[in-house]
Amino acid sequence: MFNLILFGPPGAGKGTQAVKIAEKFGWKHVSTGDILRAEVSQGTPLGLKVKAVMEAGHLVSDALLIEIMESVFVNNSDVKGFVLDGFPRTLKQAQELDQMLLTHGRNVSLVLALEVNEEELVKRLLKRAQDQGRKDDTEEVVKNRLVQYHHHTKPLIDYYKTKNLYKEVFGEGSIEQIFDQLCTVIKP
Ligand code: B4P
């Protein structure tokens, strides 16, 4: 059972690479961003609650995210591994994740970070705004998402470094090149 956290700022390519890693290793890809966007587009009570928060580029509450992830683990007890994409994003989420995994007899196997400079991140997200029209990819919201990342998510680097689980890969270049680099680091 391998539990990989794909880590990095918004637009680093976590979602892009997570799909490829999950396919190669036969693991389950869990994107909390995708889960939340599906709730919003289906207009569920949860979706209605988080819509404005996401569109402003803020983080959804830890309590909701922890509830979502608990049901992911309960409903996927038979998978060979997980690629967590976009979770955890706060220290509280990281601590709760450790507890949840422990309850299921598991632990975090590796935290792989995609390192991309801020100018490139903004460029990618503004391009996606043009291509896909995601409401949280406008210039103002992207800036806010980066602030949230620096404030709430970046401190997790030290949390995982202390546990000796943290590795970094340069996240600029072609999608295939980056994928190859990631695969050399993942040793199930
Ligand atoms: P996410 O969906 O996780 O959004 P993201 O960080 O922007 O995506 P990612 O890094 O995966 O980038 P991608 O591969 O798509 O979160 C959205 C929102 O959901 C958050 O702001 C928050 O409100 C909420 N949320 C989610 N999880 C939460 C949590 N745990 N706690 C609280 N709130 C939470 O790549 C970006 C773009 O770059 C794409 O267009 C892609 O095609 C392009 N790209 C990828 N690789 C490239 C490359 N090598 N070269 C050029 N372009 C590339």
Domains in the chain, number:
1
* Residue 185 located in a structural domain: no
Ligand 1 centroid–CA 25 distance in Å is 21
Return the residue matching tokens 């210039």.
139
Distance from first CA to last CA of the chain, Å, rounded?
8
Distance from C-alpha of 127 to C-alpha of 71, rounded to nearest angstrom: 34
> Two tokens at 51?
């819509």
Average pLDDT over residues 134-142: 93
Do the domain assignments include residue 39?
yes
Whether 187 is covered by a domain: the verdict is no
What pLDDT is recorded for position 104? Answer: 84
**Structural domain includes residue 160:** yes
Q: Is 14 one of the annotated active-site residues of the chain? A: yes
* Residue minimizing CA distance to atom 26 of ligand 1: 33
- Pairing state between β 2-7 and 110-115: parallel
The residues, ordered by sequence, that sit 6+ positions from 148 with a Cβ below 8 Å of its Cβ are 57, 58, 59
Residue 27 has pLDDT above 90, yes or no: yes
What single string gives the DSSP state of each residue in 140-173?
Answer: HHHHHHHHHIIIIITTHHHHHHHTT-EEEEE--S
In a domain, 101, yes or no: yes
- pLDDT, mean of residues 26-36: 98
Mean pLDDT across the chain: 96
On the question of pLDDT at 2 being above 90, the answer is: yes
Spatial contact of 29 and 18, defined as CB atoms under 8 Å apart: yes
Please state the atom number of ligand 1 nearest to the C-alpha of residue 14.
11
Specify if 72 maps to a domain.
Answer: yes
Q: The pTM is what?
A: 0.95
Residue 71 CB neighbours (<10 A): 10
- pLDDT of residue 16 exceeding 90: yes
Domain of residue 9, residue span: 2-180
Classify residue 186: in a domain, yes or no: no
Q: Does the structure show a pLDDT above 90 at 145? A: yes
pLDDT at 105 over 90: no
With a cut of 90, say whether residue 147 has pLDDT above it: yes
CATH number for the domain harbouring residue 44? 3.40.50.300
pLDDT at 187: 92
Buried/exposed 3-37: b ≥16 CB within 10 Å, e otherwise = bbbbbbbbbbbbebbbebbbeeeebebbbbbebbb
Return d(Cα 134, Cα 138) in angstroms, integer.
Answer: 8
Substitution candidate for ligand 1 out of 124, 144, 150 with most atoms within 8 A of CB: 124
Q: Report yes or no on 128 lying in a domain.
A: yes
Pocket of ligand 1 (CB under 6 A): 8, 10-16, 32-33, 36, 54, 57, 59-60, 65, 85-87, 89, 93, 124, 128, 136, 145, 175, 178
